[in-house]
Chain A
């Protein structure tokens, strides 16, 4: 009794196991997953990705935002459910592959010389040819003909079947076409693995780099310096291209120099440096022109061009000035009590000036470039007013740095994908079964075949073979 119950449980378990196996290996599931991935992706192009929550609430309202947030629709392609769908696709592929591999291998490998007349005659396109000549001649004729059509032949004289005189020929070509779908499926697996590696250990970051101020790359422990940055223009004044001459300095040694541009990055030790943008610095100046005005007379005493963060003595005034900070778009964070640049655009530029008068630090005001804001904060302790008359910001070259070992897997997978698609769509597995039956002075040839695809082309080929007799 006990054992019977056990087997029943066992078979029920096996039943469940089989059901799960069938579910995960079914092509229906694949088509459903394709459909869900496509629909999900459409959603991601309709709802703009990666905006601030506030923006979504304005567009869709609080109630909808709850759902948008719940399903991670603001970062849809990295959401739990989209990832789950991709994982489902991968599982589906793996299980399906393991299930089908034996039968694919058989179709690829098996050579079938041991067959009957019946088999040939039951083929849809079977033809019977009367050949003027003996069986050997017929065999040679067929062999040379099929070789001309690039078939590979397996010939068996006197097969174990019945009439000892018969000759069986099995011919096939393009059997690698059977492996096309397998190669394709494996390639998808590799590509998916590559994207997982990319998101796990790949990284990208953006750096503004200035001439003469090397960029330290901590992940690789080396420096990249910008030797020169320049822009080429078209005749109509639009930008043609822009270039950065970069040098890599590794432990004090100059390892390489390359001029990069958009579409032509520099590579060093697996790190890639891309020319991504350029612009005026938002946090520094080369020079600031400070106008010093005598409060009493209202006359300009002097205009001084100051270097950034380099204190300078102004002769005959008792002043020492230092431009310590710059922001391109002035904004004040009241909580942290900090000035910051709201954007890299030069919307409202301002410098911070350290003023030492007669040996005492008397103030560190922000001076605005905008004439409407001149003298916003007059400095009471000073004999002078200070105005930011002009400034010059350095140009930075925007470099995108990336290191991503996953990329290589993606390229390997892509290559295999193309190979697999090509094989599966353009190489057809065609098989012919031929019986030669000798009679008095002639021979009868039974010829028929199968193809896995492109039956139209196959019939045309068969016809031309038959007509050659």
Chain B
């Protein structure tokens, strides 16, 4: 059956094989394996695109309305971000894929393991029938994707820094220098932050249209604010107090853990308006 679930099953395998290739590339340091890994990633992204398009056709609306759909959207954005790095820095930063593609694989895997009611195609409830919602979801997820990439890069930074300090040849030699990783970390948070901010604002506009109040302190709103404060702390620490390197890497990891809680934890653990997505 050629439907979106079938495509996302394929996608899972493509991302898995690609991320294995990256790890082999790290171990063997052979360029052709790197090329292969990247080609598989691009293939995965195309399948990912197809999965979104097919889902849109199946549901007759933008694919944003439940956890499963937004996970597929998230992995699409994350891989797109990675391909953008590749294009901007040529293949110098190819190895970043080892972490980023693994993240996308995990996202699709988690989406596949969701209980069926989080995957099923259901008609939208009245509150969700709004164009503001489309903008709200897309901007929010661009923001999440930025934070996810920064998280991956933060982890790479910590690994690389350790191996640089040891000064011996290591598994992580192919990683870009810790300086460049630190710079990239900032760049992706600097993309994530304005988009998440815009997502929060659009959510407020939408809430004001749907319920007559722009802020009601429901758990999802509150957690988005928590995430926002964490990254605001990151900027001020970095820009004004001169934090670099390990400190900011930890920040990007803690920030992303909060994002994961905002995205999954709040939906499953805490009650509130956003319980559906």
Contacts and interface: CB of A to CB of B under 8 A. Distances in A.
Interface stretch (A38-46, A144-152, A218-226, A339-347): A38-46
B205 interface: yes
A407 B236 CA distance: 28
B193 A425 contact: yes
Most buried by A among B193, B214, B266: B214
B194 A27 contact: no
A30 B232 CA distance: 9
B interface majority secondary structure: helix
Interface string B117-137: 000001101110110100000
A31 B130 CA distance: 36
A27 B226 contact: no
Interface string A335-372: 00000000000000000000000000000000000000
A410 B204 contact: yes
A418 B122 CA distance: 34
Interface in B165-216: 180, 183, 187, 190-191, 193-194, 197-198, 201, 204-206, 208-215
B214 A407 contact: yes
A35 interface: yes
Nearest to B232: A34
Most buried by B among A28, A263, A410, A455: A263
A183 to B, nearest CB: 13
A77 B217 CA distance: 8
A241 B126 contact: yes
B229 A37 contact: yes
Interface residues of B, number: 46
A236 B236 CA distance: 52
B126 A34 contact: no
B212 A272 contact: yes
A425 B196 CA distance: 14
Contacts of A414: 201, 204
A41 B236 contact: no
Nearest to A181: B239
A263 B210 contact: yes
Given A263-B210, A400-B211, A236 B123 contact: yes
Contact of A240 (B126, B183, B190, B223): B126
A392 interface: no
B113 interface: no
B240 to A, nearest CB: 4
A276 B212 contact: yes
A324 interface: no
A156 B18 CA distance: 57
Interface of B: 122-123, 125-127, 129-130, 132, 180, 183, 187, 190-191, 193-194, 197-198, 201, 204-206, 208-215, 217, 219, 222-223, 225-226, 229-230, 232-233, 236-237, 240-241, 266, 270-271
25 contacts: A27-B241, A28-B241, A31-B241, A34-B232, A35-B229, A37-B229, A38-B229, A38-B230, A41-B229, A45-B222, A49-B217, A239-B126, A240-B123, A240-B126, A262-B210, A265-B209, A274-B210, A274-B212, A400-B211, A407-B208, A418-B197, A421-B193, A421-B194, A425-B194, A456-B183
